[in-house]
Amino acid sequence: MPKRITLPLPGTDKVKSALVATTSNLLRLSKSPDEALGQLFNDVQMDRVYSDGKTFVDLVPRRRMKHIQQEYTLEKRDPDFDLRDFVSRHFYQFGAPEDTAFVTNKTMTARQHVSDLWHVLERKNRRDHGSLVALPYAYIVPGGRFSEQFYWDSYFIMLGLAADGRWDTIEGMMKNYAYMIRKFGFIPTANRTYFLSRSQPPFFAQMVKLLARHKGKKRTYIEYLPYLLAEYRFWMKGRRSVNDNPEHEAFSRVVQMPNGVVLNRYYDNKVTPRPEMHKEDVDTAQDHDAETAKQLFLHLRAGAESGWDFSSRWFYDPQDIKTIHTTDIVPVDLNSLLYQLECIIAETYQFMLQPLLAKRFLRAAEHRAEAIRQYCWSDEEQFFVDHDFKKGASTGQLTLAAVFPLYARIATSKQAAAVAERLQKDFLKEGGLVTTLHVTGQQWDAPNGWAPLQWVAIEGLRHYGYHTLAEDIKRRWVASTVRVFTQKGKMIEKYDVTSDTRVGGGGEYPLQDGFGWTNGVLAALLAEDEQAN
């Protein structure tokens, strides 16, 4: 008997998307695996059943996790019990990455390869699968171990999608973020249950600005205003607590500065090891008592929210992750991004003929900009540097986060000149800009360079007229990306901007192929040349 073929009904894809968007809030979300699996979770992660801790938390249980946990309690008493076999019987991998089977066409240029890779990195997930949270629309993932719609990665991915005219995909990803804001009240690191206590650098306003290039500014800004405001409320939660109580110097993600202005910090709502890096965090805290371990876990989680996980930027001792103190720090990049968010909200209210509300957010943006220039500028270093509010002084760590005030147009012309000079003198290497000046083995340190930071630096320098330096950085970075592609036939997550191979390393997990934001930034930079010609 011939196999029956079922053809999709017209509009089925749209119907499914609408169904997820309207009904998913009614369904109970699964618990994070560390909370749901108890001792089983701890044993799997600590015994290194999988070399990468993210592998287990991404698996899908074949039964309810409560039942699996109960069965584990009984079975592990058997002297011949095999933990790896137990896990393989009770969990499975959802959606094996298509990119593992992808074979590069070696006749393609790097630019063509990026365009060819979008469909490989596209995912559709309209049902919850274990820790993976359903989203109504298709999205692009970074690649490798990262099979979710990651927050700040997505902005740089969207730059490449825009260069390829894939506005439908961009808009779908934006609708996913609007959905997550409605569902969770904020944009989590990615659509995983174990990421629901932390966010990432807030690029949502920049995504709205990007989409507005295609759909029109006024229309797009007004459409996404409720979500821009929700994003702002998330980051500013606790502002009244620090304003009304002088003893509360900081609360959640807000910090009251000595001049009364409220700035922000990276934070997390939990004080336990990160589920996806459980063993690494437990090992880091092994010499701590229970209370100091909780504080360490909070700093590690906040470092993960920053996207810079990890970097000497967050350490007292650049060589020792145990000295991490992320939540003591007012980061210059985070506050520059929130300044941009305030400006876009103010501009939207101007479109809506709401001058009082526009003025309120414009004033907040101006106060934030002044505070950044006051507390995050180092006269000694002639560079923007994060501020340690506990010590009331600069952290002293020089990093590429210094380019964000230029990107946001907060820097004075004199400050921009000094930053440009320092970038050229200390940060510019043969393959692009190095992330920090410390070699530590952490991935967000020297000798690594990262695509998003190259883009922010290039754009920031252009804002202040440093086009020659911006073009030099662009040329070196594009050459690094193309060199690795020519040698290995792939894009990678990070690049060693000092070595001949240009292949990056360091960090908590192996170098990842893919790679979303590398692809996006390369496409956007090369598209500039295509348009110029």
Instruction: Name the residues annotated as catalytic.
Output: 309, 493
Whole-number Å distance between alpha carbons of 176 and 182: 10
What the block records as the tokens of 346 is 């103010």
Type and span of the H or E element at 477: helix 467-488
Q: Angle 324-326-329 (CA atoms, 0-180°, nearest 5)?
A: 125
Residue written as token pair 């147009």: 409
Collect all residues with Cβ–Cβ distance below 8 Å to 305 and sequence separation of at least 6: 189, 198, 199, 200, 266, 267, 268
Q: How far apart are CA 252 and CA 236, in angstroms?
A: 9
- Residue 256: phi, psi to the nearest 5? -90, 120
Angstrom CA distances, 205 to 151, 227, 340, stand at 12, 9, 7
Q: How far apart are CA 300 and CA 263, in angstroms?
A: 20
Q: How far is CA 173 from the centre of its chain?
A: 15
Residue 476: phi, psi to the nearest 5?
-65, -40
**Hey, what are 423's tokens?**
């970038």
Query: In angstroms, rounded to a whole number, what is the distance separating the alpha carbons of residues 533 and 528?
Result: 9
Q: CA of 289: how far to CAs of 267, 273, 286, 320, 368, in Å? A: 21, 14, 8, 18, 38
**Residues in Cβ contact with 116 at an 8 Å cutoff, skipping those fewer than 6 apart:** 105, 108
> Which residues fall within 8 angstroms of residue 431, CB to CB, at 6 or more apart?
449, 476, 477, 479, 480, 495, 496, 497, 498, 499, 502
CB-count burial class (<10 Å; 0-12, 13-18, 19+) for 529: exposed
What does the chain come to in residues? Answer: 533
How far is the C-alpha of 147 from the C-alpha of 196, rounded, in Å? 16
Helices and strands, number each (H, E), in the chain = 20, 16
Closest CA to 401 of 343, 444, 462, 465: 444
Cα–Cα distance measured from residue 421 to residue 253, given in angstroms and rounded to the nearest whole number: 32
Tokens of 409: 């147009």
Q: Give residue 529's Cα distance to chain centre.
A: 28
Q: Please, how many CA atoms are within 13 Å of residue 54, restricted to the half-sphere of its CB?
A: 11
Residue holding tokens 């066409």? Answer: 105
- Whole-number CA gyration radius for the chain: 23
